[in-house]
Every structure is written in structure tokens, then in C-alpha cells.
Amino acid sequence: MNGDTEKLSSEKIEEALQLLSEAAQEKKNELRTLLSDRYADLKTAFTDKRATISEALSETSQRAAHRMRNAKEAGQEKIVDFAEEMDIRVHEKPWTYVGGVALAGLILGYLFGRRQS
């Protein structure tokens, strides 16, 4: 009888282990599904944000390029206006500007000459 009891105990332990193994497998599958769903949600969220960030960067880049073109055009216009204004002034009083340039050349020549000595 002792052998039969051990055999029954052994079978019951085997059954219990089998049930535990099946339960563990079910939980493993549940966890895998849960993690896979969460991963899919995160992946979708990151993909959506990535598209939004890409669009924002593209728009910012386009605005910056547009502003740079406007600044370049404005700078060129100011340079042309300044050159035209100087041309008119120099033609009105040429000797004043010739004297100013000569004086500036004299001062620069003196300063550079002193540094070399």
C-alpha cells in the first residue's frame, strides 16, 4: 500500500506541476500580448510625434530661409541706396571728400608707420 500511496502522490505532484506549467504558459502569453500591445501603442505615439516634429522643423527651416532672403534683399537695397546717396554727395562737393580721404590716408599712414618702428 505504501507503494500505491507514493505512486498516487507522485501522480498528484505531476498533475500539479502540469497545471502550474499550463498556468505559467497562459500568463506568459498574456504578458507577451500585453507588452506587444503597449509596444505598438508607444510605437504609434512616437511615429505620430516624429511626423509632427519633422513638419515643425520643415516649417521652421522654410521660415528661416524666407527671412534670410528678405534680410539679404533689404541689405542689398540699403547698400545700393547708400552708394547712390554717396555718389550724389561726392558729385555735389568733391573737394570735401577728396580732402577727407587724404586726411584719413595720412592718419593711417602715420599710425602704421609708428607700429613698424
Q: Is the pTM of this model over 0.75?
A: no
DSSP string for residues in 44-78: HHHHHHHHHHHHHHHHHHHHHHHHHHHHHHHHHHH
Tell me the per-residue pLDDT of 58-107, one tens digit each, with 9 for 90 and over. Answer: 899 999 999 999 999 999 999 999 999 999 999 999 999 899 999 999 99
Q: Is 93 left (phi over 0), alpha (psi -120 to 50) or beta?
A: beta
- How far is residue 38's CA from residue 8's CA, in Å, rounded to a whole number? 44
Where exactly are the structural domains of the chain? 2-116
